[in-house]
Amino acid sequence: MKRTILLKYGEIILKGANRRAFEKQLADSIRRRLKGLIGEYELEYMQSTVYVTPERDEDVEIAHDALSRIFGIVSLCIAYRAEKSMEEIMRVALEYIPPHLEGYRSFKADARRSDKTFPYTTPQIMMEVGGELSEKCPDIAVDVINPEITVMIEVREKYAFIHAGKTMGAGGLPYGTGGRGLLLLSGGIDSPVAGWMMAKRGVEVDALHFESFPYTSERALEKVKTLAGKLCRYTDKMHFNKVSLTEIQEAIRDNCEYDYFTLILRRFMMEIADEVARRVNANALITGESIGQVASQTMQALAVTDCVPTIPVFRPLIGMDKEEIVQIARRIDTFATSIEPYEDCCTVFTPPHPRTRPVLEKVIRAEEGLDRKALIENALKTLEHQVIYNEAF
């Protein structure tokens, strides 16, 4: 019995005249993801659905898992393919669907008939298949209003497809349709979630990590690369950039008022990120800041750092609380890595009482003892780049 993975479009169906470009980007993402898997796959695109049929049936589950992390797909399921006759649909449904109903208390049969030449109407298909399944599975009740699981019969152009239950896809827009952004990726919980959320909106995400060797360790750097690799499960690859902040942090420590340390450092980071973004053709910076979460993320502090870059700063977490962020981190499998106890540059020389309501003019005066231009030029000389790929491949 051939099994096929059905991928359902999300927002793409609303794109009007631009829909074709979004569909092409989604198709490219699907092909890249399948290319990284073992086996051959047949692809068809019809009526806001992508049909992926492995040459070998044993590859279905692996492909289903990989495709569940493609942005632009709102839901997906593994369906049994049947010839378009009521007898064959019934045979496949009765043979293969009952195991999928085990453990559920109620079900209903639903149907879609894209092929209007099929001799049975949609209500007839639902009643016929639902009635036979009810007799074969007497321990599960029929509930057409609020069933725990739905058996779907889709009569399409070439075949009929029968499936029970579905998996929610990654949603959003196809990766690469929303421009390019540079993510300031630390080792914490927030920034990987911010990168994922922007990637979900179609933004191609590069990463910039700031290290402070010897105050931060090689293990801390590897932790951040691991986080980048986990994001690549959704994006396939990521351009990872690294810059050393050690000289800048030591200069701030030696020449600036301690309470301003974090703010001045953040301003250096934003200026360096702005230049790196220019070099990699990124259109915006992405950070994991959430209003009021720490001292450097008050409204006044963000205003002091936002006046530095020349491109927009996107903060997708800005109105979220920590528990909401943690829930997403768990979902995308970055949380356990993020809480590993390795330091990052933002924890080096942190003042006990940082300024929470800074005034820009006072911050600028606090920086007067620094040669900003030379420090930034030296930091950019430490810029290193590598490409990180999907760790699942």
- Tell me: pLDDT of 345 over 70: no
Ordered strands of the 180-184 beta sheet: 313-314, 284-286, 180-184, 204-211, 237-244, 384-389
pLDDT in tens, 201-250: 999 999 999 999 988 889 999 999 999 999 999 999 999 999 999 999 99
Are residues 100 and 142 in contact, defined by beta-carbon separation less than 8 angstroms?
no
pLDDT in tens, 177-197: 999 999 999 999 999 999 999
For 131-140, the pLDDT digits (tens) are 999 999 999 9
Q: Locate CATH 3.40.50.620 in the chain.
A: 180-389
Closest CA to 193 of 289, 270, 277: 289
The confidence score (pLDDT) of residue 363 equals 87
Q: How far is it, in rounded angstroms, from Cα 160 to Cα 153?
A: 7
- Amino acid 324 reads E
Report, as an integer, the average pLDDT of 95-115: 94
Q: Which fold has domain 3-168?
A: VC0802-like (3.30.2130)
Query: Average pLDDT for residues 62-84, to the nearest whole number?
Result: 95
90 alpha carbon, distance to own chain's centre: 39
301-343 tens-digit pLDDT: 888 999 999 999 999 999 999 999 999 999 999 999 999 887 6
pLDDT tens digits, residue range 253-295? 999 888 888 899 999 999 999 999 999 999 999 999 998 887 7
Instruction: Please provide the average confidence, as pLDDT, over all residues in the chain.
Output: 92
pTM for the structure as a whole = 0.90
- The DSSP symbol for 182 reads E
The tokens for 147 are 């069933």
Looking up tokens 């085990």 gives 102
* Alpha-carbon torsion angle 10, 15, 20, 23, nearest 10: -20
- Residue 347 pLDDT: 65
- Could you please state the CATH topology (level 3) that the domain comprising 180-389 is classified under: Rossmann fold (3.40.50)
Query: What pLDDT sits at residue 264?
Result: 92
Q: Phi-psi bin for 49: left (phi > 0), alpha (psi -120 to 50), beta? A: beta
CB 204 within 8 A of CB 71: no
pLDDT for the residue 215? 85
Portions of the chain given CATH number 3.30.2130.30: 3-168
CB 62 within 8 A of CB 161: no
With 70 as the cut, is the pLDDT of residue 18 above it? Answer: yes
